[in-house]
Structure formats: structure tokens, C-alpha cells
Amino acid sequence: MKRFGKFWWDFVVGDDWRVAVGIVLAFGITALLATTSVPAWWVLPLAVAAVLWLSLRRVAR
């Protein structure tokens, strides 16, 4: 059971869980902004750029 759980964790989340958390947060912000009159299409591209860079920086330092 533990190995099964680990397999799905590795399959979906991968090496850096912070990336998955960042994406979930970005979805939340996008959905919140979508209920207002503020355009929200830019949130996810910006979040992807930020989480990817932070994840790369953790390895490349």
C-alpha cells in the first residue's frame, strides 16, 4: 500500500512538491479573480514562470 502511494506521489507530484502546491495556489487565485472584473488570464502563465524558476534555482546554486 505504501509503495502504491509512493508510486502515485512520484507519478503526479514528482521531484518537487512545491511546484504542485504553487500550481494549486495559482488556480485558486485565478478562480478568485474570475469572480471579479479584473482580467485573470495572466495569473497562470506568471505562476508557471515563477514556480519553474524557483524549482530550477533550488538545483542550480
Partner 1 sequence: MGITRGWRSTLIGAGAALLALAAIVAALGPALTVIPIDVLRLVVGGLLLVFGLQWLRKAILRASGWRALRDEDAVFARERAEAASAPRVERAGLDWYAFTISFKGVLLEGLEVAFIVLTFGSTQGSIPLAAVGAGAAVLLVVLAGLLVREPLGRVPENTLAFAVGVMLTTFGIFWGTEGAGVHWPGGDAALLGVLAFVSLLSLGFVTVLRRRKLALA
Distance between CA atoms of 19 and 30, rounded to whole angstroms? 16
- Taking the complex as a whole, the smallest distance from the CB of residue 2 to partner 1 amounts, in Å, to 17
Does residue 50 interact with partner 1 by CB under 8 A? no
If we measure between CA atoms, which residue out of 54, 53, 38 comes closest to residue 29? 38
Q: Which amino acid is at 24?
A: V
Distance between CA atoms of 23 and 51, rounded to whole angstroms? 8
Given 2, 3, 4, 41, the residue binding partner 1 (CB under 8 A): 41
Contacting residues toward partner 1, per CB under 8 A: 12-16, 19-20, 23-24, 27, 30-31, 33-35, 39-41, 43-45, 48-49, 51-53, 55-56, 59-60
